[in-house]
Amino acid sequence: MNRVQPRTLSGFMELLPDQQLRFDRMVEILRETYSLFGFLPMDTPLMEASEVLLAKGGGETEKQIYRFTRGETDLSLRFDLTVPLAKYVAMHHGSLNFPFRRYQIGKVYRGERPQRGRFREFYQADIDIIGNESLSVHNDAEIPAIIYTALQKMGLNNFLIRVNNRKILTGFYETLQLTEKSQEIMRIVDKLEKIGHVQVGTLLEEQGVDVELVEEIIKFLGMSGTNQDVLDKLEEYRNVNATFDQGLDELKSMIQCLGAFGVDEKNFKVDLTIARGLDYYTGTVYETILTDHPEVGSICSGGRYDNLAGYYTSKQLPGVGISIGLTRLFYILESQDYLRTKITPLELLVLPMVDDLQLSANVASKFREAGISTQLYVEDKKFKQKMAYADKLEAMYCVILGEDEVKNNCVTLKHMNSGEQQVLPLEEAVAYVSEKLKKFGRFTPYRG
Amino acid sequence: MNRVQPRTLSGFMELLPDQQLRFDRMVEILRETYSLFGFLPMDTPLMEASEVLLAKGGGETEKQIYRFTRGETDLSLRFDLTVPLAKYVAMHHGSLNFPFRRYQIGKVYRGERPQRGRFREFYQADIDIIGNESLSVHNDAEIPAIIYTALQKMGLNNFLIRVNNRKILTGFYETLQLTEKSQEIMRIVDKLEKIGHVQVGTLLEEQGVDVELVEEIIKFLGMSGTNQDVLDKLEEYRNVNATFDQGLDELKSMIQCLGAFGVDEKNFKVDLTIARGLDYYTGTVYETILTDHPEVGSICSGGRYDNLAGYYTSKQLPGVGISIGLTRLFYILESQDYLRTKITPLELLVLPMVDDLQLSANVASKFREAGISTQLYVEDKKFKQKMAYADKLEAMYCVILGEDEVKNNCVTLKHMNSGEQQVLPLEEAVAYVSEKLKKFGRFTPYRG
């Protein structure tokens, strides 16, 4: 037979079962959290007509898109979950309730040259709140609370959600009469953490910004202290520019609410250097870094936008949202050994040592009826091989069914980690394992 | 602005939120059931190198494949979950424990001409048990038990899992010296239910099968009665052909176990007309029909195969599996109003009637901490509009926070369906809703 060497495309994730369990657990935490905050699930096709998907057009992403023709149809694979959301809301506008809160967790495609931490197929997990004509700025305060809750549930503590408001920046640069250069300035300022104040100053001067204004900008961006300190210092700039004042009001209102939403101050910081792209976001912007690993950059970003779907509909659809690059986050968590200890691939393995399969099937069914994840091993192997399988599978418990057990209407229950063994009537064994699992916490796949 | 008409490609499913909740619930039931039976999750790329995906080559599906070139790479979208499984097991053979039990729920692509009930992008939900060199036939008995459990949990009762064994057919046709024609005969016999015995007889004669043999075949296929009746009648054919005898032993062993696995006899039937394709399956074969709607055909099919991945590896990998066409099943269930009554999109909506957002945020957080899915409504609208939103959203409870409530440190809790209202201290309201939800059962998204 002519054989083909099996392989997986470069830049495409394919996990072994133990990794997959951890990945799925991460996804499950996100689903649970998003549902808890009243978001509805959405699932859109991976493929769209190119004319529809690229309606917004242009941009850096366009070169990376998987685009091809089938029959006479020009097709593209989605490269984010925002364009499909815009399409969905524009199409189904009459059937949705606004504010419309949806989450979507799905694969997206970008034909980048694969490199460390970059994928061609990767998961994004998005939440957005979309208003019809208007959307209260109070929604902006809830988004960091959701991310805070989700990351905490994943076992992460050392993260920092950094927040800013584009109106503050726009107003500030207007005041300095730098509106025309403001986009370029924000792009440079975005590098502050990487290259430092001196370098930023040099780059700004190269853009033709006067030295005094460079000083002003550096001083402005350099504001530090607690969130309250920064807000106090920003107050000193009030009453010069209306856009600035509006941005400051929005930022203050958000900071005030975070405590009420249960967000710890240590995980949340006003950072005036954050700008997030150049034209899409119009108010609040978010970034999230791992404080122990700032070098990996933002794991979760987003913000407020004025109009979601102008290229599809004349309806004004303001919104606020955030997106987690899930595949990348997973590899970071894996490399840090997060998520690692908590998942039991299998709670119980039934090992029959007698030929009567009916009896073993009945035993397995009883455990399953109690909600215990149970595998029945029916291969004709030696005892040693059966136990080796139980070990490799990392089953939490084994039930051994030998002739003695059958005769006495009992099972031998073995806790694999400790090696402890006991002989119990079936019903007692089921009750015992149920009780133990309840105490241990249920970390088997998809059980919360 | 130049606008593009938003649309979704024909043959691609896109659901509204209430449908999506039901779809997700169906997926969740499958995940829970598969985990309960000790299957591990798998997730493979949607795209593979064409050379790898089409290694098996040929066949009806090849024309339907989405295949395109990017750079110098010839790519294809997966058209089922079996080829990716074969690739995965061949590639990761050394890292897997055999028997390897995996489930995969994912989208597959076939560029068919869309018609009623046919999709170009659709979900399949597969389970397979793969052995290394060998796999006990006892595993074949467990597969219907899993499907039985899953369909029951979806609220389906009127279904019939039909089972046969290809060895019985092969042996029988060998006995009649019709081996050469057996594939053609099975294809004709497969139509029995649709066209009836007379028509099948005519078609068989057209294939050059002697009239007496046609009689023999019709008599054989016509066996009816309970499963035990059919097994008894099959015993009369024993000791003529070794393949037949082996098939009969396998079928008997399976039937004997089903009771022990908790499968009701009324949902399970031996049916000698089932053959499932022509060369892939080698032993047990399954089909599942909805007894009230046999016209939709099999919703869930599979069987035993001798070698999963011969085109990738020299390792012999026998297996048994079954696949549910999930997108199609969903539309059938929807049209029959299954799944419809059980899902609450939102458990609680907080409606502040005062400006103090901190207070409402705190109230929402308290409900969420108790695991109650809660949305906070922060738009600046009139009372009537706020209540209309709660109605449209189908929230189960509303919490109204007016000045009186704030003054008295209470909340007004309204049960939306009955209209019943009560004023309670916050902690009591949280405890009350928790208790009610516990009794009602938690059918919110992804909570089991």
| Consecutive 10-residue averages of pLDDT for chain B (448 residues) | 90 94 92 95 97 83 89 94 97 97 97 75 97 95 94 89 95 93 86 85 90 91 91 96 97 89 92 81 94 88 95 97 94 76 83 89 94 94 93 93 88 95 96 88 41
Contact between chains at A47 and B358 (C-beta distance less than 8 A): no
> How far apart are alpha carbons A374 and A429 in whole angstroms?
13
Q: Which residue of A has its CA nearest to B396?
A: A38
Query: Which residue of B31, B32, B36, B109 is the best one to mutate when testing the A interface, meaning the one whose CB has the most A CBs within 10 A?
Result: B36
Contact between chains at B52 and A7 (C-beta distance less than 8 A): yes
Q: Which residue of A has its CA nearest to B103?
A: A17
Contact between chains at A17 and B349 (C-beta distance less than 8 A): no
Contact between chains at A260 and B69 (C-beta distance less than 8 A): no
> How far apart are alpha carbons B318 and B314 in whole angstroms?
12
Contact between chains at B361 and A96 (C-beta distance less than 8 A): no
Contact between chains at B49 and A139 (C-beta distance less than 8 A): no
Q: What angle do the packed helices A242-260 and A227-235 form, to 10 degrees?
A: 160
Which residues on A lie below 8 Å from B73 (Cβ)?
9
Contact between chains at B49 and A7 (C-beta distance less than 8 A): yes
Count chain A–chain B contacts defined by CB atoms under 8 A: 302
pLDDT of residue A227: 94
Contact between chains at B446 and A1 (C-beta distance less than 8 A): no
Query: Which residue of B40, B82, B101, B121 is the best one to mutate when testing the A interface, meaning the one whose CB has the most A CBs within 10 A?
Result: B40
Name the DSSP class of A60: G
pLDDT of residue A341: 55
> How far apart are alpha carbons A199 and A193 in whole angstroms?
11
Of the candidates B28, B46, B131, which has its C-beta nearest A46's C-beta? Answer: B46
Contact between chains at A38 and B374 (C-beta distance less than 8 A): yes
Contact between chains at A361 and B37 (C-beta distance less than 8 A): no
Contact between chains at B314 and A3 (C-beta distance less than 8 A): yes
| ipTM for the whole complex | 0.93
Closest CA to B145 of B248, B277, B267, B234: B267
Which residues on A lie below 8 Å from B256 (Cβ)?
357-358
- Compute the nearest-CA separation of A393 from chain B (Å): 7
- Compute the nearest-CA separation of B314 from chain A (Å): 8
Amino acid symbol at A446: Y
- Compute the nearest-CA separation of B193 from chain A (Å): 33
Which residues on A lie below 8 Å from B131 (Cβ)?
379
Query: Which residue of B1, B3, B382 is the best one to mutate when testing the A interface, meaning the one whose CB has the most A CBs within 10 A?
Result: B3
Contact between chains at A379 and B7 (C-beta distance less than 8 A): no
Of the candidates B9, B45, B378, which has its C-beta nearest A9's C-beta? Answer: B45
Q: For the full predicted model, state whether its pTM sits above 0.90.
A: yes
Which residues on A lie below 8 Å from B43 (Cβ)?
13-15, 20, 23-24
Of the candidates A4, A75, A445, which has its C-beta nearest B312's C-beta? Answer: A4
Contact between chains at A6 and B256 (C-beta distance less than 8 A): no
Q: Report the DSSP pairing between strands B374-376 and B100-109.
A: unpaired
Amino acid symbol at A362: N
Name the DSSP class of A265: G
pLDDT of residue B386: 94
- Compute the nearest-CA separation of A31 from chain B (Å): 7
> How far apart are alpha carbons B298 and B287 in whole angstroms?
6
Closest CA to A362 of A372, A349, A376: A376
Question: For residue B102, what is the enclosing H or E element?
Answer: strand B100-109
Contact between chains at B142 and A361 (C-beta distance less than 8 A): yes
pLDDT of residue B448: 31
Contact between chains at B43 and A23 (C-beta distance less than 8 A): yes
Contact between chains at B311 and A357 (C-beta distance less than 8 A): no
Of the candidates A16, A111, A135, which has its C-beta nearest B70's C-beta? Answer: A111
Contact between chains at A44 and B142 (C-beta distance less than 8 A): no
- Compute the nearest-CA separation of B3 from chain A (Å): 5
Give A153-156 contacts, CB < 8 A, sequence gap 24+.
A153/A29, A153/A32, A153/A33, A154/A26, A154/A29, A154/A333, A154/A338, A154/A339, A155/A338, A155/A339, A155/A342, A156/A290, A156/A333, A156/A338
Which residues on A lie below 8 Å from B92 (Cβ)?
16
pLDDT of residue B339: 60
Amino acid symbol at A250: E
Of the candidates A6, A345, A446, which has its C-beta nearest B90's C-beta? Answer: A6
**Which segments of chain A have a pLDDT < 70?**
1, 58-59, 114-117, 277-278, 338-342, 440-448
Q: Which residue of A has its CA nearest to B69?
A: A68
Q: What angle do CA B299, B305, B309 make, to 5 degrees?
A: 110
> How far apart are alpha carbons B176 and B213 in whole angstroms?
7
pLDDT of residue A155: 83
> How far apart are alpha carbons A417 and A383 in whole angstroms?
18
Q: Which residue of B has its CA nearest to A141?
A: B361
Of the candidates A92, A259, A357, which has its C-beta nearest B257's C-beta? Answer: A357
Q: Give the largest CA-CA distance in chain B.
A: 93
Contact between chains at A99 and B73 (C-beta distance less than 8 A): no
pLDDT of residue B1: 66
Contact between chains at A257 and B361 (C-beta distance less than 8 A): yes
Phi and psi based region of residue B58 (left: phi greater than 0; alpha: psi -120 to 50; beta: remaining): left
Closest CA to B336 of B298, B291, B300: B291
pLDDT of residue A117: 60
Of the candidates A4, A42, A48, which has its C-beta nearest B52's C-beta? Answer: A4
pLDDT of residue B262: 86
Answer whether A329's CB lies under 8 Å from A299's CB.
yes
Question: Token digits for B301?
Answer: 């099919």
